[in-house]
Amino acid sequence: MVARLALPILGMALLLPVGCAPTTPGPSGAVATQPAPQPAWVNLMDSTRVKQWKVIQGAASLDSNAILLNTGAGRDTTILAEGVDLQDGEVELEFRRLESPLHDMPVTIALRLPVRIDWTSVYIICRPEQVEACRGSALRRQPPAEHVQRMDKAQASPEVWRFVMTGGLVECFRFGRKVLSYVDPRPRAGTIALTASNCGVTVSAIRYRPVEKPRTGPERR
């Protein structure tokens, strides 16, 4: 015999088999589908994946505890993550700028960068008091900024950045607050690269997760 549970509803009792929950029909009477669970974050600094970073220019120290981009005044250091193929999803990054005699200390994040490195990528340039966005090309690695947004100088360290890519829309968040939106005219899958200019940078965390498309059609029973 199936045990039943009485639920009071406006003075009446609704009998349900124990372990069952009421379902909500959709407009046509069909049971609504459940949203797909979010994929897990991929940590690009664990003991295995930290080895996927490749130094493109300059000097860098790669360790699962921290990635150090050793950059002096007037110099750049760039690292690229191999084995990443991300078009829609999120990227989170925590970094600390080391002291520099120069005021302008940009940290550039390249998103959707082809592994063949033709530099056709979305670039987010994170300066101490300003964030910029542009799209590079095979002819110009980093053209002039297309969008510029002033910000208050970050008081906390490390800085926490998050980038959300949905189709052509790229949204940038600093400390959980949206600071810039950019429309990528040619969205496609690619990897992630970091460039430090005029200063050393210590990266304490970097991870990503792709977007899981919602399920469609009737729910399986």
Q: Please give the pLDDT value at position 152.
A: 85
Q: What average pLDDT does range 150-167 have in this prediction?
A: 89
Q: Please give the pLDDT value at position 142.
A: 64
CATH number at 42-210: 2.60.120.560
Domain boundaries, the chain: 42-210
* CB burial readout 130-140, b (16+ within 10 A) else e: bbbbbbbeeee
Residue 129 has pLDDT above 60, yes or no: yes
Q: What average pLDDT does range 180-192 have in this prediction?
A: 93
pLDDT digits (tens, 9 = 90+) for 101-123: 666 788 999 999 887 666 788 99
Q: What average pLDDT does range 163-174 have in this prediction?
A: 96
**Confidence bin at 70 (pLDDT 50/70/90):** confident
**Confidence bin at 77 (pLDDT 50/70/90):** very high
Q: Distance between terminal CA atoms of the chain?
A: 22
Q: Please give the pLDDT value at position 38.
A: 78
Q: Is 162 helix (H, G, I), strand (E, B) or coil?
A: strand
Q: What average pLDDT does range 202-220 have in this prediction?
A: 75
Q: Please give the pLDDT value at position 191.
A: 94
Q: Please give the pLDDT value at position 63.
A: 86
Is residue 69 within 8 Å of 60, Cβ to Cβ?
yes
Residue 84 has pLDDT above 90, yes or no: yes
Nearest to 39 by CA among 107, 103, 90: 90
